A and B are shown apart, each in its own frame.
Chain A
């Protein structure tokens, strides 16, 4: 039933934003499974335009943010708790410093 439903949905789905597999015709799974990723067509051999379009698509999709927040090693839950506390303290300290600087600047300006 699931395979039949997928085929029927595939018949009616013709959106331009979903990358569909190339017509290889020899691989059975490619027909049933939707392709993943971002695909851009190079029109008229203009590679620069295609690359620019791809960059915009990747940024809008959020993959760039995931790359920035990459996590390469496993972290224990206890370590996560400690790290969170440290981050919070650092945040509070920076806010206090900002508030002090602001007061000093105001005092200076009024003094003049």
Chain B
């Protein structure tokens, strides 16, 4: 742990000293990020996979050392520079989005420490592993140089990588990338609350009408909309069960109202104004209204009463026209 941190500090110092070569570093950052991420993933996911990676790296290092001693030293110098500039760039990124980058950096450090711990457990492979890491970094540097030469491709790749990294950052940190959703939710709730009185106003004003005209021996029931257009109508004549005479006149109103109410169930009426017109006792009018309601709500218990107003529009003239002559029996 302490050795690892000390090495980081030294790296930063060297980076400050070598400020002359910052420009070519930009493409290096882009190239490095995607390559480091999969390595970290491999390490974090399983121990066995990490062991395999270390062995392969060891083999590579041996080959490189044996083949070319001088180029190795040159590569070492380049690696150090690249590392320093990488650190600098990472510092830059946090300035833009501080929390997620900081958390990511910590994650990386932890992963490295664990790797170091494993190396310590196995002394010889640990030492070799360190060298392998350095070599791998040099190789990455070489690849980065290639990307830098091709101007178009690295820009495109950088953009993609930035987008992906940003998403990952937010996912890892658990930040809510859409704070406006919360505000919209609150506004919607307010609108929902406000909408109800408006709905109620419409529900009362645009009510449909049910006109019940009760004569001595007949009854007419008509359902219209708020403007007076007829939707449905019925009368006592078509009813089959009723017979002529006193029975018809006594129960015509109730029967007709119930039949029309049952038919009106399919019209989707939400609010209804009952208009009763007839020079008869109130008992018959009450029975007619109740029958219509029962016919409308029959078959569905939970259905609510659609009647909003009850109106009696019976009129009688003050000494109006001459009445008909008495019938001579």
CA gap between A22 and B326 in the complex, in Å: 41
Known contacts A22-B207, A58-B282, A73-B325; is A47 also within 8 Å of B309 by CB? no
In the complex formed, the residue of A with least CB distance to B293 is A47
Query: Chain B's interface: helix, strand, loop or mixed, by majority?
Result: loop
Interface string of A35-77 (1 = CB under 8 A from B): 0111111100101001100110011000110110011111100
Asked if A73 and B316 sit within 8 Å, CB to CB, the answer is no
Known contacts A22-B226, A36-B315; is A67 also within 8 Å of B281 by CB? yes
CA gap between A96 and B273 in the complex, in Å: 54
In the complex formed, the residue of A with least CB distance to B325 is A74
Asked if A71 and B323 sit within 8 Å, CB to CB, the answer is yes
Q: What B residues does A67 contact at CB under 8 A?
A: 279-281
Query: Chain A's interface: helix, strand, loop or mixed, by majority?
Result: mixed
Known contacts A22-B205, A74-B322, A74-B324; is A51 also within 8 Å of B313 by CB? no
CA gap between A39 and B312 in the complex, in Å: 6
Q: What total count of A-B pairs have CB within 8 Å? A: 78
CA gap between A71 and B281 in the complex, in Å: 15
Size bracket of the B interface: 20 to 34
CA gap between A58 and B286 in the complex, in Å: 12
Known contacts A23-B205, A47-B290, A51-B310; is A42 also within 8 Å of B305 by CB? yes
Contact surface of A with B, Cβ cutoff 8 Å: 19, 22-24, 26, 36-42, 45, 47, 50-51, 54-55, 58-59, 63-64, 66-67, 70-75
Q: A22-B207, A50-B307, A50-B310 known; 12 other A-B pairs, CB under 8 Å?
A: A41-B309, A42-B308, A45-B304, A45-B307, A47-B289, A47-B310, A55-B282, A66-B279, A67-B279, A72-B323, A74-B322, A74-B326
